[in-house]
Amino acid sequence: MIRPILTEIGIFLIPFAVYALFLAASRSGLFARSSWPVYIVARLALVALVLVIAGMIGMAHYGAGPDSTYVPAHVENGKFVPQK
């Protein structure tokens, strides 16, 4: 369960990382308050939310089938059986 959550957090952070790379490449003040105005942060957050929603739809659409069953790793007859 933690993997999909971390994936969505990573997807959310992509626009902010791209903007930070742009600021670093253009030698603007990366940590300067003037480089992160509210309207830019709001646009980045909006793009990030759209990416997260698209990622969730993609996972729901192209993820495991509805009849698939997760079998966790377990010990069977004294031997470790990996997840399926």
Per-residue confidence (pLDDT) for residue 19, from 0 to 100: 96
pLDDT (tens digit, 9 = 90+) per residue, 11-68?
999 999 999 999 999 998 888 888 999 999 999 999 999 999 999 998 888 877 777 7
Per-residue confidence (pLDDT) for residue 30, from 0 to 100: 85
Sign of CA dihedral 25, 30, 35, 37: positive
Helix (H) or strand (E) holding 18: helix 2-25
- Integer CA distances (angstroms), 26 to 21, 22, 42, 45, 69, in order: 8, 6, 21, 22, 49
Per-residue confidence (pLDDT) for residue 49, from 0 to 100: 98
In the chain, DSSP assigns E strands to 74-76, 79-81
Per-residue confidence (pLDDT) for residue 20, from 0 to 100: 95
Residue 4 in this model has a pLDDT that exceeds 90 = no
Per-residue confidence (pLDDT) for residue 84, from 0 to 100: 77
Decide: pTM greater than 0.85: no
Per-residue confidence (pLDDT) for residue 80, from 0 to 100: 93
